[in-house]
Amino acid sequence: MKEYDLTSLRSFVAVIETGSFYNAAVQMETSSASISRRISALEQSLGVRLLNRTTRHLELTTAGEQFFQDVKDILAALEQAEERLNCFQETLSGVIRVSAPLTFGVKKLAPLLPLFMAKYPQVTVQLQLEDRLSDLVSEGLDLALRISALNDSSLVCSHIADLPRLFCASPGYLERKGVPASPAGLAGHSCLRYSLLSARDEWGIAEGKELPEMHTPLISDNGDVLREAAIQGMGIAMLPWFIVEDALHAGTLVPVMQAHSPSPLPLSLIRPTRHYTPVRVTTFMAWLREALYSSTS
């Protein structure tokens, strides 16, 4: 058998799965130069070229493609063996890397995580909060929470709940500008827009109907910003309930056009398609699914 180490094999797989030496280095918490040296040493030990690489492109050789498939299965089997050992222990251990939308993560996920970590103190959760769609494979994530429809068929999706949305504005704004009864009545109103949705999707305007002439003083990719602007009387916003529930209870925002509420947003857990998912991850998924369903119902 050829002489090479497990780290070199993991580095090789990471390069292919993430698409670059740099991404693999980030995932493995090392440098690009170190990853390159490991791959070169692996090729030298095997006596075969695995990758054709230029400054801008990586391509598996025929031998590299076969070796990648075999090594990926071997590493998955090793992970499975390690996790089976964990099953004989009283506590799970290891790192779980999770991504979630910023506001949802702060409002709904952050209060729940200490409960999980108290139950499994040897598990470390690395939480990444941002409103962009993370690339699970290239960023080395185990799980991501998504508030949207899933478009990537290469990912495994588990639906948790539906998050209601509503139109809302401050009492002062509605006193000045009037209360619209339907989306058509938004003509002449100031509307605070979420930049990651089209105006038609956001405001519930059916296909074939014209968008009303709306003044748009603020467009943002963050719901907290739109909520605060609505509270300050800048206009009408359409936001998920979890973002505005405190303001609604306080009376600083009130719902409008309730007969025309937009469809709810699906909340889902997604993970990369892999032959094996570590027990700590499946345990966390099951716990999180139940905890989030209870907190959003």
What amino acid occupies position 228? E
Which of 110-119, 142-151, 255-264 has the lowest average pLDDT? Answer: 142-151
CATH architecture for residues 94-154+267-296: 3-Layer(aba) Sandwich (3.40)
Question: Residue 200: its pLDDT value, please?
Answer: 52
Structure-block tokens of residue 171: 């009492």
Tokens of residue 57, six digits: 């492109």
Whole-number Å distance between alpha carbons of 17 and 119: 32
Helix 6-18 / helix 62-87 crossing angle, nearest 10 deg: 110
From 191-205, 240-254, 282-296, the region with the lowest mean pLDDT: 191-205
Three-class secondary structure of residue 98 per DSSP: strand
Q: What are phi and psi of 132, to 5 degrees?
A: -75, 165
- The domain segmentation of the chain, as residue ranges, is 6-75, 94-154+267-296, 165-263
Q: Taking residues 253-272, what's their average pLDDT?
A: 88
Question: Which token pair is 265?
Answer: 């947003």
Which of 42-56, 70-84, 234-248 has the lowest average pLDDT? 70-84
* Distance of alpha carbon 109 from alpha carbon 296, whole angstroms: 11
Tell me 295's DSSP state: H
- How many other β-carbons are positioned within 10 Å of the β-carbon of residue 5? 12
Q: Read off the pLDDT of each residue in 6-24 and give the average, rounded to a whole number.
A: 84
Which pTM was predicted? 0.65
pLDDT at site 208: 46
Residue 16 has pLDDT above 90, yes or no: no
Q: What is the pLDDT of residue 19?
A: 82
- Residue range 48-77: average pLDDT? 82
List, for residues 198-225, the tens digit of each pLDDT value: 555 556 554 445 566 778 899 998 899 9
Contact (CB, 8 A) for 227 and 251: no
Strand residue runs (E) in the chain? 51-53, 58-60, 94-100, 123-129, 143-147, 155-163, 165-169, 190-194, 215-220, 236-240, 254-256, 265-272
The Cα angle at residue 266 between residues 261 and 269, in degrees rounded to 5: 160
One fold for both 94-154+267-296 and 165-263? yes
> What is the DSSP annotation of 232-266?
TTS-EEEEEHHHHHHHHHHTSSEEE-GGGPPPPEE
Q: Tell me if 136 sits within 8 A of 19, measured CB to CB.
A: no
Residue 93 C-alpha from the chain's centroid = 23
Mean pLDDT, residues 62-71: 86
Q: CA–CA distance from 184 to each of 47, 197, 211, 220 (Å)? A: 70, 19, 8, 23
3-state DSSP assignment of residue 129? strand
CATH number belonging to domain 6-75: 1.10.10.10
Residue for token pair 């999180």: 288
CATH for 165-263 (3.40.190.10, 3.40.47.10, 3.40.50.300, 3.40.1440.60): 3.40.190.10
